[in-house]
Amino acid sequence: MSALVLGHMNPDTDSIVAALAVADLYKKLGKDVKACAQGKPTPESEFVLKKFGLTAPEVVSDVAGQDIYLVDFSDLAQAPKGMDSANVLGIVDHHKLGDVTTSSPLLCWIWPAGCSCTVIKNMYDFYGVEIPAGIAGAMLCAILSDTVIFKSVTCTEDDKKAVADLKKIAGVADEKALGLEMFKVKSALEGATMDELLHRDYKDFNMNGHKIGIGQLEVVDLSMLEPYRKGLQEEMAKVKADGREGVFLLLTDIMKEGSDMLMVTDDESIVEKAFGKKPADQHVWLDGVMSRKKQVVPNFEKAFK
């Protein structure tokens, strides 16, 4: 049976494209692998796949007994069912090291870059394998998505260099225009249910025994989320009631470069402890905060210690 190449729960564009790209590279290196995902692509990912003529990875929800490569995560909280009996052969990631462990040596490419696809670009180069134009275009979009068109504090020189190379391979003239087009698609709210919106980019974390959920919606203009706030908070309360201490949702304005954090939590003081700002009416504006990974998760982790 083919080894699965699999990104995190509630897959974002990086998780989807990284699975496709790593599967492409490993197949060319003679490995028997298959790109998979823990769910359907978001509207943003669909836009990217369509634009570059790619097919969405197969959806899997249970990996019991399977060989797997993880992309874009190494946290068990973001893994599918059956992880305890799965055999992890490798990890490609750009997050803090999670709690996945293995019984055999594994192939790891983990860089402190802004996007898994930046690491993958360097893997293709390392192995001397050409990147197909469509995959290069999708990888470029994943990098623009994860780094919020280079504006996020997570963006590194490696990301910029990867984009400079990938745009040539993909034949993309203006990557910033493409990035903005993609974020406009990402901002689309029409027809989405509150459940979909909250889970579009949502992750659970176990912070020193405290289970919390943190979602993020990145939009080109925060005011478009105004009519959704109440419904989102009701949805967050439902998710919290399912065994969590708190659920937080970052409403990120990529133009104003900051996030309004909505919260439903047992203890709002943890927010003040983490960010030095007191929430009012179950939300707080965090100026300059655009990255969950670098500007939100570490603060909460410290506060929960």
Cβ of residue 186: shortest distance to Mg ion, in angstroms? 10
Distance, CA of 39 to chain centre? 13
Cβ of residue 105: shortest distance to Mg ion, in angstroms? 24
Residue nearest Mg ion by beta-carbon distance = 14
Sites of contact with Mg ion (CB under 5 A): 12, 14-15, 72, 116, 146
Cβ of residue 247: shortest distance to Mg ion, in angstroms? 17
Alpha helix segments (H runs only) across the chain: 13-28, 43-51, 116-127, 133-146, 157-170, 175-187, 194-199, 229-241, 269-275, 297-303
Interstrand relation of 67-71 and 3-9 (parallel, antiparallel or unpaired): parallel
- What is the distance between the alpha carbons of residues 186 and 265, in angstroms, rounded to a whole number? 27
Which amino acid appears at position 256 of this protein?
Answer: K
Which DSSP string corresponds to 48-99? HHHHTT-PPPEE-SB-TT-EEEEES---GGGS-BTGGG-EEEEEEE-S---S
E strand or H helix at 250, and its extent? Answer: strand 246-253
Nearer to Mg ion, 15 or 299 (CB): 15
Closest CA to 259 of 241, 273, 277: 277
Cβ distance 145 to 107 under 8 Å? no
Cβ of residue 126: shortest distance to Mg ion, in angstroms? 19
Nearer to Mg ion, 184 or 273 (CB): 184
- What is the distance between the alpha carbons of residues 181 and 196, in angstroms, rounded to a whole number? 21
Nearer to Mg ion, 17 or 284 (CB): 17
Cβ of residue 204: shortest distance to Mg ion, in angstroms? 14
Cβ of residue 96: shortest distance to Mg ion, in angstroms? 12
Determine whether 43 is exposed, middle or buried from the number of CB atoms within 10 Å of its CB (0-12, 13-18, 19+).
middle
Cβ of residue 72: shortest distance to Mg ion, in angstroms? 4
Nearer to Mg ion, 23 or 173 (CB): 23
